Structure 1
Amino acid sequence: MTSQDLVDQIRAKRSFLCVGLDTDITKLPDSIAGRREAIFEFNKAIIDATADLCVAYKPNLAFYEAIGARGWEQLDKTVKYIREKYPRILTIADAKRGDISNTAALYARSIFQHLGFDAVTVAPYMGRDAVQPFLDYQGKWAIVLALTSNSSYDEFQLLPIAGTPPRPLYQEIVQRSRQWGHEGNMMYVVGATRAEMLKEIRKLAPDHFLLIPGVGQQGGSLAEVVKHGMNRQCGLLVNSARGIIYADRGPRFAQAAREKALELQREMEGYLREAGIVQG
């Protein structure tokens, strides 16, 4: 999937919403809990209810790997379903892979060839050779962790790097990694709870897409994300997981998920209109 494909979807749907499929087997509605393919059935219902409102789906692989082969099978089935029924929607493997090059190449093969994802989150701590195997796939995306929304992010990400003037590590990551790929195959993860730092990342990567987790239950502000992070083509994918998929634990869970997604889509449409990215 190209960056233009993504921009076209944003304009067509008037949305830059990414729905996180962080499907916890212990939180499934009673109406489907206990079924052999309960996770897939839940995902399918959420996808069908929200596909016209979002431009990306992002399963966090840990929720599937935690239940063994059965979880992996249902993840595979979920991705296949999206690709077959909604092929223009971006699929992101939230895997945070990061290892030496020969191992990274196997991770890339698993995620891109076997599971068929369009994009994957990667950790840059080991340097270029841990990320390059993902960038070698034509039409795929590596989404590099830059600035995260977890509570202990500052233990490393804000450490000063020597220079004139010195700058924090997260800025160095963005600056150096820009040399590895380009705006059409690399994005950055920037937590919504760090919205005030978005403007610095946007200066360093003016044309890259930014994947923004943390809006909603984690306390991130969509308005602040847009203020500091939107570029001339939008350049944002804002993820919401728990706030959408667990909006209701009863039999109307899919409809409740749609209602929450629609709230975000309408707010996003307003920002896209203000920026002149969509008309009418």
Structure 2
Amino acid sequence: MKLYTIDTGFFKLDGGSMFGVVPKSIWQRTNPADERNLCTWATRLLLIEDGKRLILVDTAIGDKQDEKFFSHYFMHGDATLDGSLAQHGFHRDDITDVILTHLHFDHCGGAVKRSGERLIPAFKNAIYWSNEQHWDWAIHPNPREKASFLKENILPIQESGQLQFLTEGEAFSPNITMRYAHGHTESMMLPQIQYKGKTILYMADLLPSVGHIPLPYVMSYDVRPLITMQERQSYWQEIVDSEYILFLEHDPVHACCTLQQTEKGIRLKETFTLAEV
């Protein structure tokens, strides 16, 4: 098995929304905001080469939306999905599986592309993996999440016949199991990977950045913030006890980190790149 970081650039979101009830005077120490109160976030994906399978975890925002949509998110940076794949010797047509941790636009927008007037899967040879609970949640969105669940990102996957569902507790492969979290959104999937004798946990939006490690630092986007806190408390203790490595999708600087127990609670231990694992 080999793992690769796939950088696809950066975007911006409101800092207050990203940190919920935490005051700006505190969160700006780790995630400084610009004059519009926007913070920069990465769209960093994970590519897993596992035998004959080439598995991409999430697909970032993509490029099919209109100018008005992109004007809200200030996408920037030179990295692209295709460029990052090419750096490792791959093409998007080589992807055999796409794991969608959840269907918010910044995680699944790149799953679908425009072909003339049509919307088609961006990875023509891949199976797309979600779970039935989250899929139903996304195609019948609540008012709080409606702006994040865009039908053009979701329905073409099902219409193509390339969509399959996992069930909770089902192993994805001998080296990959799927963990779940329900506070950010219903049934978000967190791939857990056995690699070089270590355990790597893909954090998706359970831990957006190292600045979110303290338990109350929960995003306003979370639909069940108290559940998020409970999940984080349980996961954080397991992560420390079992010495997991965390892969961070949105941290603008750090790709991976570990946690440790301190007098103030569980906090950051180390940061490093995936290549250093």
Q: Please give the TM-score of this superposition, normalised by the length of structure 1.
A: 0.31
Between Structure 1 and Structure 2, the one with more strand by share is: 2
Higher RCO, 1 or 2 (CA under 8 Å, sep at least 6)? 1
Q: Please give the TM-score of this superposition, normalised by the length of structure 2.
A: 0.32
